[in-house]
Each structure stands twice: as structure tokens, then as C-alpha cells.
Amino acid sequence: MKSYIHNLIKLIVIPLILFFTFSFFVSAQTADDCLMCHGEAGMEMDKNGKTIKISVNASVFKSSAHGKLKCVECHKGFNPDDIPHKERITPVDCKSCHKAPLEKHPFHPQLALADGMGGTPDVNCKGCHGNHQVRTKNSPTSPTNFMNSTEYCGKCHKKEKELHIKSDHYFQLNKNNPQAPTCIYCHTKAVTKNFKVSAVQLKKNQEDLCLSCHLDAAHTKTQYSTSLINYRNSVHGQAISKGISAAAVCTDCHGAHIFEKASSPTSNIRKSNVANVCSKCHIGVSQEYKQSIHGVALEKGNPDVPTCSYCHGEHSISAVVEVPLKMFTDNQINPQSAVKTKMVYCIKCHADEKMMSKYGIATFNKAHDWLPSLGKHNETVRCVDCHSSYTPPNLSHNLLPPEKTIKKCEECHSKNSVLMSKLYKHEKTQSRKKYGFINGTLLSDAYVVGTTRNLFLDSFTVIAFVVILIGIGFHAFMRWYFKKGH
């Protein structure tokens, strides 16, 4: 019987005593117990020759995301009866509870190596979220709240903050627009080099991020939904889809953080700045444009002058401007021919009597009324063939002022003329590609002044040429044959 009681005490009573004793000490280490001392303002201690603040604002802590936790759940191994509590303080490890910080913070891959509290402010939890004042992102006073992220991230990323606060995104954020993107919204996606993806994939990710708001999709429909609807069908969009990393995506033109409307004087997409944006890739073309009559007029502040996006489109990069049919008929122009030869962009402005009178420029038909057959010229000659410095078939961006353009008949229709050396030379090349070298040379679509295409004459010339060649060949064969004594 004694043995049975002894065993019962060992198995039940002693463990119960130990359990309640342990519970007593643990329960004694509540936040309130710690705050009895550490809640006093100005509490400090000296350590290694430095004065360290060890006071905690009780009201701030209790209203924080960790307000219901015990201090010892983060500050492990402390004995409240020992003063100081511990000779060597164990660093707080936020990852003991927050197991996978990179899932929510992929923009800071350094977190995978940080212990949560040590290291520099940009690689640990404390640097961004604070110590005892940690708040959830849903709290209006939290630095990670939707409305506060610009200031919060700007503590380290000062340059990016300066740019972002000028952007329309930030403007929409301050209007409490819940669809306005913030630092956290964009940078949780793989849109920076921190994510170590290929150059092509990085640009695709940047494109997808912008399209997620600016594309007409049912799950993301916003007032800006249709602004990028044609981007993926554009030259740039197709190039990216084919893996060409040099192709432009949204951030290449609009900037990475400073997205401004075209009305802003410093906007990348302001009319006066468009050529500079395009010149980042299209250097030669931009230089031509800037020295052209259009580029010079733009530099002088002309608001109606065409820029890159007028002819090439903005996001579609394949736009064809709409021109009233009357403009074509009044100027003896075939609409289909005008679109094919790109003259439609010239007609849009230069056939507009109101716009031309504003600058004292003659409209298209009045400026060309000296031509004997305007309709025929419009079918065969493009505006740039006479008004630019380039050799056809190129579309020059260096459009010349009136005094330097071709405007006399003899400048085109004479021996060794400009037209002979430019347009006719191009037509001969095209004819050779179309008919082959021999036929293209004989049946070229290029003609000198005074000659016209005559099917009978062409056929007779070819037949005569072939007969002569056969005659010469037959004569040579007969001479060779009889010379051998056959």
C-alpha cells in the first residue's frame, strides 16, 4: 500500500506541483508586470558605455498589433527576479512567428538573411514596422497603410518618393481613390531587378502590371481601362511578346514612378517632350524630326504641329487619323491612296483651311494649284517625295521648309532631274523586284518626261529584240558550221 501511494505521488502530485509553480512564474511575466517598471518614461540603462532607452509607452504597446502578447513571447529567456534580467540579451526574432516574410515582402529579398531585428533598417522588420508600436496595415495610423506607404517607403527611397509625389497616381491616392496604385501594390510583383528575372521577363512583368489596371478586363475595370487596350497589338507590344527586350513598355515612355498627365509641363508625354522620349530608342529619327520644319515649329511653341504620336499613334503605334471625305474630294485625292502612301496625315492638317489660315499657310489644293494634273500627281507622288530630304521609298522625318522643296516642273521633268535621280530610280528598283532584272529593266514603270506606256510598242520591242538575238545566234552558228567544212 505504501509503495502504491509513493508511486501515485511521483506520477501525479509532483508533476502537478511543478506545473502550478511554472504557471505561477510564467503568469507573473505578463506585459503588465513588465510595464510596472518599463512603463516609466525615461527609463534607461548603461551598456558598453552607451545609454540605452528601455522604457515602453504602455498605451502605444497595448493598441499595437502585439498588444495582447506577453513580453517574454518575443524577449525570450528573461528572469524577472534577476536585475539585470539577462547578461546577454537574446535578439528578438520576428521570423519565429512570421515564418515566411518573403511571401509578403518579395521586394526586399535581404529579409531571407535578416533575423528580423538586426542588420540595417532596410533589411529587417524593425526598420520598417517599428518596435512596440507595430500596427496592422488596416490601421489608419500604420505606416504600411494604403494611404501612408509613400511616406513610409520614402524614408529610404527618397528619390523615388520625390518622383512619385508628382505623379497622377499619387494625386489619385490623395483623392482616396482605392484603385490608385501604391509602392507596395506595384513592388510585390516582379518588376525590379531584385527579383532576378531575365530582361525580357522583367519587361513583360512591367507591362502586365500596368495592363492589370489600364486594360479593359472585367475583373479590373476602371475609368482608365481602355487607355491601353491596343498596346499588345502594337509594334512595341508584339516585339515584347516575341522576346525582344529592347522594345518599349509603359515605364520606358512614362517613367517608373512619375506618371504625369500630358498637361503637366514636366510630363514625359507632353507634346513638347514626346520626341525626346522616342529618341531614347529612335535616335536618328528624332534628330531628323528636331531639325525639320515641324520640329523647329514645336520648339517655338506651336501647339498644332505634329509629333511622333500624331503619325504613329500612342499605344496602338499603328493609328490612321480620321479625315472627312470632303477633304479628299476637294483636293482631288483618292482616300485609299492617301492611306497607303501615308499622305493622310499631311492632309489632316494641310487641308484644314481654318488651321492653315491661323499660321498664314496655303491649304493643300491652293499650294499645288500650279500643277497641271493634281489628281494624277496625288496618285503617283507622295508629299515626302518633294517636301523631304530623303530618297524614296523612305519616309523622311526631316520635312523641309517651302523654299527648299521641289516646286517647278523642270526640277522633276528634265534630264538628270531631282525626280529622275530619286523617284524614278526607286521605281526602276521596284520594277526589277516585280518583273525580274531583265524584264524589270525593259518594262520598268519608270518613264522619262514625254513617254507613256504603250503595250503594242512594248511587245514589238521585245519581239524585235528576241528576233535580233536569234538572228545573231543563227548567223554565228552557220559561220561556225560551214567553217569546219561540213
- 126-173 pLDDT, tens digit each: 778 888 888 888 888 888 787 888 888 888 889 999 999 888 888 888
Which helix (DSSP H) or strand (DSSP E) does residue 45 occupy? strand 44-47
Q: How many domains is the chain built from?
A: 2
Residue 36 lies in a domain: yes
User: Is the model's pLDDT at 401 over the cut of 70?
Assistant: yes
C-beta of residue 77 within 8 angstroms of C-beta of residue 47: no
Q: Region 29-37: what's the mean pLDDT?
A: 80
- Least confident range of 16-25, 123-132, 392-401: 16-25
Residue 173 lies in a domain: no
Backbone angle region of 445, left / alpha / beta, with phi > 0 → left and psi within -120 to 50 → alpha: alpha
Residue 297 makes CB contacts below 8 A (sequence gap 6+) with 305
Residue 483 lies in a domain: yes
Which of 41, 73, 90 is a domain's end point? 90
Residue 402 lies in a domain: no
141: Cα within 13 Å, side-chain hemisphere: 8
C-alpha cell at 346: 499631311
Residue 17 lies in a domain: yes
Task: Using alpha carbons, select from 224, 241, 223 the residue that is nearest to residue 232.
Answer: 241
Give 457 or 332, the one with higher predicted confidence. Answer: 332
Which of 33, 55, 90 is a domain's end point? 90
pLDDT at 452: 42
Read off the pTM.
0.63
Which of 57, 90, 123 is a domain's end point? 90
C-alpha cell at 173: 491616392
Residue 143 makes CB contacts below 8 A (sequence gap 6+) with 128, 129, 130, 135, 149, 151, 152
Residue 51 lies in a domain: yes
Q: Region 404-429: what's the mean pLDDT?
A: 63
Residue 167 lies in a domain: no
C-beta of residue 128 within 8 angstroms of C-beta of residue 121: yes
Residue 46 β-bridge partners: 51
Residue 480 lies in a domain: yes
Q: Distance (Å, rounded) from C-alpha 326 to C-alpha 324?
A: 5
Written as one letter, the residue type at 251 is: T
Give 228 or 188, the one with higher predicted confidence. Answer: 188
C-alpha cell at 257: 514612378
| Residue numbers of the domain that contains 43 | 2-90
Cα-trace Rg, the chain: 40
- Least confident range of 180-184, 227-231, 238-242, 338-342: 227-231
C-beta of residue 307 within 8 angstroms of C-beta of residue 275: yes
User: Is the model's pLDDT at 297 over the cut of 90?
Assistant: yes
pLDDT at 428: 65
Cα separations in angstroms, 292 against 90, 156, 269? 71, 45, 20
- Least confident range of 16-25, 160-169, 462-471: 16-25
